[in-house]
Amino acid sequence: MLSLIKQPVTGKRVLVRADFNVSFESDGKTIADDFRIRAALPTIQWLCDQGAKVVLMSHLGRPIGGKEEQKTLEPIAKYLAKCLKKPVLCASDCVGSDVEDDVLAMQNGDVIMLENLRFHKGETENDPIFAKKLARLGEAYVNDAFGVSHRAHASVSAITKFLPAYTGFLLEKELETLSGVLTKPKKPLVLVIGGAKIETKLPIIKNLLPQASKVLVGGAVANTFFAAKGLGVGASKIETEFIPHAKRILKSSRIVLPSDVLATPNPLGRARIKFRSVRTVRDGEMILDIGPKTTEQFAQIITKAATVVWNGPMGLFEIPAFAHGTIDLARAIGAADGFSIVGGGETVTLLRKLKLESKITYISTGGGAMLEFLGGKKLPGLEALGYYRKARSRK
C-alpha cells in the first residue's frame, strides 16, 4: 500500500474517506461521542498543513430512499470546523455539478464535507458509475476509514480504480496494531468476547484460539455455548444454527464460560433479578449479565495477560442493573499491565463514560471491521489498496 505521508499533495484535491458515523443526543444535533471524529483529525490536519484541498466523504446511519434531514452531515461539518479552527463547508450533495463547482473553487488548505454518501444507493451497491462521479471531485484518494473497510462500497472499494489511492494515518495505525495481534502478540494472549451475535464472533474466536491462552466468553454469545453444552438458558437469546460450531470450539480447554449469571423473567419490569449458577437458570428467565464469581474469575485471568483483546459487552449494559459485569471488566482491563486492544462502538462508548480511555493501550475505530480483520477475513477496502497482494509478496 502507498502511504499518504510520502505523497506531494500541495494544491491537489484529495478525497478522504473518513468514518464519521457517530452517535447523537436525543435532539439529533448534538454529537454524543466524537471518538471517530478525533481519530481522523491527524490525517485531515496534515493535509491542510501541506496545502491540499481536502474533500471529506462519509456516511451517517442507514438512510432509506434518498436524503433524510436527520442524517445530514452538517452537524459533523460544524463540529470539525471547531476542531480544525477553520471553516468547513458542507456541500448540498456528494456528487453533481453544484458540488463540482464548490470543489473547483477551493483554495489550498480548504476543507469541504460532502453530504451523506448513503443518500445515493450507488454507494452501498459499490456502483462504479457512482464511484467515478465521486472520483471527479479529486486528484487523489485516501482511505482513512478502517471502520468501513470491511464494506464493498463505492467510496471504499470501486473508487480506487479511478484515482491514485493511499492510506491515511488512522488506517495505518489500525493495521499496524491489529496485524501485530495476528503475527506477534505478546503472550499470554487473552481474548474477551461478548455482545449479541455469535455469528460475528466465531471467526475471531477460531482464528485466535491457537494463539490465545484463554478465550473469555460472555454476553448473549455465551448463551449459544451454554446450549451447546446442554445447559438450559430459559428464555435467553440463542442462535441454534451455530450450536454445532460452538460444540467444536468447546473441545478446547481454553474457552472459559461464565459460571454464574444474572437472570430475570422481565428486564424492563419489576421482576426480581437473581444471581444464579449457569446450571440453575429457570424456564422463562433471561440471562442478561455475568455474575460476580465470573467477573472475579475473568478479572484474575486478565491481570495475568500480556495482551488483551476485547470486543462486546458482557450483558445488557444499557440497563444499569445489567451493566455491572461489563463495567467491572472494563476496569479490570484498564488496570491491567498488559497491552490492551478494545473495539466495538458500544464498548468504546462505555470506556469514555467511565473515563477509561487513557487506560487502554489502543482503541479501534472499527467494530465489525476489527472482528473480520482479526478473524482472518479479507477486507474489501484493504484489497482495493493492495494490502493482501503485498502480504503475499512478503511471504
Sorted by where each begins, the domain ranges of the chain are 4-173, 187-337
71 as an active site residue: the answer is: no
At how many degrees (to 10) do helices 292-303 and 324-335 cross?
20
Query: pLDDT digit string (tens) for 341-380?
Result: 999 877 888 898 899 999 999 999 999 999 999 999 999 9
The residues near 230 (Cβ < 8 Å, ≥ 6 apart) are none
The answer to whether residue 368 is catalytic is yes
The pTM of the full predicted model, rounded to 2 decimals, is 0.93
**273-291 tens-digit pLDDT:** 889 999 999 999 999 999 9
Catalytic residue among 36, 53, 173, 201: 36
Q: Which CATH superfamily is domain 187-337 in?
A: Phosphoglycerate kinase, N-terminal domain (3.40.50.1260)
Q: What is the mean pLDDT of residues 227-245?
A: 94
Q: Is 90 in contact with 67 (CB distance < 8 Å)?
A: no
Q: Catalytic: which of 197, 274, 359, 377?
A: 197
d(CA 279, CA 212): 27
Q: Which of these is catalytic: 312, 368, 375, 381?
A: 368
In 10 A of CB 316, how many CB atoms?
20
Tell me, yes or no, if 36 is annotated catalytic: yes
Residues 6+ apart with CB under 8 A from 86: 48, 109, 111
Q: How confident is the model at residue 270 (pLDDT cuts 50, 70, 90)?
A: low
- Of residues 265 and 217, the one with the higher pLDDT is 217
Confidence class of residue 22 from pLDDT cuts 50, 70 and 90? very high
Choice among 291, 315, 338, 345 that is catalytic: 345
The residue written with cell numbers 473469555 in the block is 216
Which pLDDT value is given to residue 395? 45
* Mean residue pLDDT across the chain: 94
Residue 312's region, left for phi above 0, alpha for psi from -120 to 50, else beta, is left
pLDDT band at residue 271, thresholds of 50, 70 and 90?
low
Question: Looking at the DSSP assignment, which residues form a beta bridge with residue 31?
Answer: 24
State the average pLDDT over residues 281-310.
96
Q: Show Cβ contacts of residue 320 under 8 Å, excluding neighbours closer than 6 positions.
A: none
In CATH terms, are 4-173 and 187-337 the same topology? Answer: yes
The C-alpha cell that represents 122 in the structure block: 450507488
Contact 64, 79 (CB under 8 A): no
85 is catalytic: no
- In CATH terms, the superfamily for domain 4-173 is Phosphoglycerate kinase, N-terminal domain (3.40.50.1260)
pLDDT at 394: 46
